[in-house]
Structure 1
Amino acid sequence: MTSTSNKSRLAIIFFTVFLYLVGFGVVIPIIPLLSRNFGATALQTGLLLSVYSLMQFLFSPFWGRLSDRVGRRPILLFCLVGEAISYIIFAQARTLEWLFIARILAGFFGASLSTASAYISDITPKHERSKGMALIGAAFGLGFVFGPALGGGLAVWGHAINAEPHFDTSFAAYWVAGLCLANFLFGLKFLTESLTEKSESAEKKKRFSVMWHYLNVKTVGTLMSVFLLTSLAMSSMEATLILFMGEKFGWDIKQVSFGFAYIGIIIVFTQGFLVRRLLPKWGERKVLRLGLALFAAGLTCIAVSVNIPMMALAMTLLSLGNGLSNPSILGSISLLSDSKEQGAAMGVTQSMASLGRIIGPAIGGALYGYVAMTAPFWVSGLLAAAGLALVINIYNHIPEHGRAEQNGV
């Protein structure tokens, strides 16, 4: 496979993931509004968000393992159709129970994002692996920047067309379904199969035995634990930042949304540009160590911020840190895993991130409400620091392909 062909396939998988994340981001501002209209409590609204991550935690290894056996392309295409169906159900939902069914299905099919990471593993050489993983992160960042803004805009547009109850949110959800179907047609035409050697043993292991296996693999298990810690730290911060900014600086949802957009833009810049420049010079080890140090510093800086410039510094540090560390972790895990089991390895890794997104908001909310409003950020900083300590402990076992291959070592 030529370098030009691989770049074209990377661009296609980037665009596929980006469109998927835009669709996911569209419903984020809609869910609280719609659930409130259906009489949901704050807890039920939170559960609507958490159940998506729960399904990803449970089924990321399933889709990844299945893609090792049948190929990446059919899994990605099938799940895009499933996503479209879940958003049609979301648009039609008129009770809280049906909203939960829609979000459960969306999480089930959305867990196939681990297959996109495996696709990257298949088509990138070792010295390009972590840079390839950075494309997934950039697509995530862009999706979260544009998705919520698009969702709010579609809901406003829908309300202008028809002021009947629920029309605005249904209108936006139908657009997401259409986006998923358009993504399916795009993938059907342009997405080629990346898996050259299928694994017959992939189907023989049960979900939790697969997870337990990888968590006990030297270095790989530690890196997956680090990914869990960073996900816990990030999701705890995200769940409480709006409360913190409102109480400390008088910001409302609009201003905090701009703050999250800023985080997304910095992550996109870091993973789309900076990582690709630093990895050939420094390699995965140094980039990962720097990223976790900046991430821990940024989270801690939130807790001590007394004005907006300090908060801007905190947001910049944590965004740079997150953008540098994630692709280095994913790339290293991919490099250390068997080429026939990339889907399974990426599935377990994404499950760790999903587990963090399930637990993190609850931890952050409890700390904020029962300890102190700065407590979630102190604890998140400590979680990131713990991840850094784990990385330092296994430092010499982390691959250096990004630097070594580039320099001809």
Structure 2
Amino acid sequence: MTPTSNKSQLAIIFFTVFLYLVGFGVVIPILPILSRNFGATATQTGLLLSVYSAMQFIFSPFWGRLSDRLGRRPILLFCLVGEGLSYILFAWARSLEWLFVARILAGFFGASISTASAYISDITPKHERSKGMALIGVAFGLGFVVGPALGGGLAVWGHHIDATPHFDTSFSFLWVAALCFLNFLFGIKFLKESLSEKSESAEKKKRFSTMWHYLNVKTVGPLMTVFLLSSLAMSGMEATLILFMGEKFQWDVKQVSFGFAYIGVIIIFTQGFLVRRLLPKWGERKVLRLGIFLLALGITGIAFSDNLVAMAITMTLLSLGNGLANPSTLGSISLLTDSKEQGAAMGVTQSMASLGRILGPAIGGMLYQHISMTSPFWVSGSMAFLGFAIVILIFKSIPDHAKSHIAKART
């Protein structure tokens, strides 16, 4: 592909990932109300949120391996249709059981985000790999900002159109489904296959043996562990921050939503602008080291924050840290993996993140309820600091392609 073609394909992939995250974000303000209307307990509501990530954990390697064999394009297009259908099912679900079915299907098709990561690996040169991976982080940040606002806004609009019970939520999810189908049509016309050589051997490895294989690869395994720890830390923080802010500063859902939107904006700025400036100067390894340190410092700092100024500082630190660490980790894993195995490697990596999003909220909630209101942030911060220690131990073996490419260009 030419550089111009690469940019257009990156734009399509960016929009695809963004839609996945918008769909996830739309659920956040709507699902608690909807599930309560169907008689769900607080535990069942939490499980409705967790099951999406659980399905991503299970099926990310599946889609990744399948894309290594069949190509990225058919998998991405197929999953866009599946994602749209899952939101139609969610829109018309009128019982708790059908809500679970809809979320399970959304997580199953949404697990193809690993294929999107592999697509970026296919079309970006090594010295730009981490910058390419930053697009996923930008899409995540945008989805984190746009999703809840869009879901709430559409629900209000739907209620004005028709006050019939559940029409407002159905209206919201039908809009998300429509966006998925529009993106599918756009992809049919413009998305090109990125995989130049398909791998027939990818199907021979079972899922857990594939995961075990990559976790035991030098440098790749530790980096995947770092990705898991950062995901655990972030999700544990996210699950309990609203409780902490309500109890300590008397914030309501609206104010906390603005707080999460601020985190999303900082992540967008970091991965959309800052990463692209820092990688050529510092390289992947230094950006990763700084990012994971700031993440750990910011999450731990929440436990010390006695006023809103201190909270704003810690939120900024953890957002910058997350925005720097994630693309550097993904880019480094991609650089250390054979070109024929990008789908499988990204699938395992995204499974690590999904596992963190499954366990993090459960651990955080348990600590908050049974230990103290600050304990989730101590533990999450400790997990991030453990990730920082791993980065220090493997520092010299982490790739530095972005920096080395600039150095070569100057000679």
**Length-normalised TM-score, structure 1:** 0.99
1:19, CA displacement in angstroms?
A: 2.5
Q: Deviations over 1:167-206 (max 9, x none)?
A: 1111111111111111111111111110001000011111
- C-alpha separation between the residues in 1 aligned to 2:242 and 2:53? 20
Cα distance, 1:4 vs. partner? 2.0
Aligned to 2:173: 173
Aligned to 1:343: 343
1:43-88 CA-partner distances (Å, limit 9, x unpaired)? 0000000000000000000000000000000000000000111111
> Post-superposition shift, 1:2?
2.0
Q: Which amino acid aligns with 1:176?
A: V
Overall identity of the aligned pairs, in %: 80
Letter in 1 for 2:56: Q
User: 2 CA distance for matches of 1:110 and 1:10?
Assistant: 18
Q: TM-score, normalised by structure 2?
A: 0.98
Corresponding position of 1:78: 78
CA distance, structure 2, for counterparts of residue 171 and residue 356 of structure 1: 31
CA distance in 2, matches of 1:152, 1:183: 22
CA drift of 1:24 comes to: 2.3
- Number of aligned positions between the proteins: 409
CA–CA separation in structure 2 for the residues paired with 1:81 and 1:298: 39
Amino acid of the structure 1 residue aligned with 2:100: F
Q: What's 1:89 paired with?
A: 89
Contact (CA 8 Å) 1:133, 1:330: kept in 2 or not?
Answer: yes
**Residues 23, 180 of structure 1: 8 Å contact kept:** no
Aligned partner of 2:218 in structure 1 is: 218
CA distance in 2, matches of 1:60, 1:300: 30
Runs of at least 4 residues of structure 1 off by over 2 A? none
Which residue number corresponds to residue 111 of structure 1? Answer: 111
* Stretch of structure 1 that moved more, 153-162 or 22-31: 22-31
- What displacement does 1:3 show? 1.8
CA distance in 2, matches of 1:52, 1:250: 30
Q: Is the 8 A contact 1:288 1:329 kept in 2?
A: yes
Instruction: Please tell me the residue identity of whatever aligns with 1:401.
Output: H
Paired residue type of 2:127:
H
Distance of 1:183 and 1:5 partners within structure 2: 18
SS class of match (2:104): helix
Supply the AA of the counterpart residue of 1:408. Answer: K
State the partner residue of 1:33.
33
Partner of 1:296: 296
Q: Distance in 1 between matches of 2:24 and 2:248?
A: 30
Deviation at 1:365, TM superposition (A): 0.4
Per the alignment, residue 60 of structure 1 pairs with 60
Kept after mapping to 2: 8 A contact 1:211/1:348:
yes
Per the alignment, residue 324 of structure 1 pairs with 324
What does residue 161 of structure 1 align with?
161
Corresponding residue for residue 354 of structure 1 = 354
Aligned pairs for 1:231-310 (under 5 A) are 231-310=231-310
- Three-state SS of the structure 2 residue aligned to 1:305 is coil
Q: Which residue of 2 aligns with 1:143?
A: 143
Deviates more, 1:382-391 or 1:185-194: 185-194
- CA shift for structure 1 position 12: 1.9
In structure 1, distance between residues paired with 2:6 and 2:171: 37
For residues 13 and 84 of structure 1, what CA distance do their matches in structure 2 show?
16
Residue type at the aligned position of 1:172: S
Residue 15 of structure 1 aligns with which residue? 15
Q: What's 2:380 paired with?
A: 380
Per-residue deviation at 1:165?
1.0
Describe the SS at the equivalent of 1:406: helix
SS at structure 1 position matched to 2:408: coil
For structure 1, which segment, 353-362 or 13-22, has the greater mean C-alpha deviation from structure 2 after superposition?
Answer: 13-22
The one-letter code sitting in structure 2 at the alignment partner of 1:320 is L
Superposed CA deviations along residues 183-242 of structure 1, whole A, max 9, x for unmatched, are: 111111111110001000011111111111101111100000000000000000000000
Whichever residue aligns with residue 326 of structure 2, its letter is N
Give the secondary structure class of the aligned counterpart of 2:406.
coil
Shift of 1:255: 0.2
Q: CA deviation at 1:20?
A: 2.6
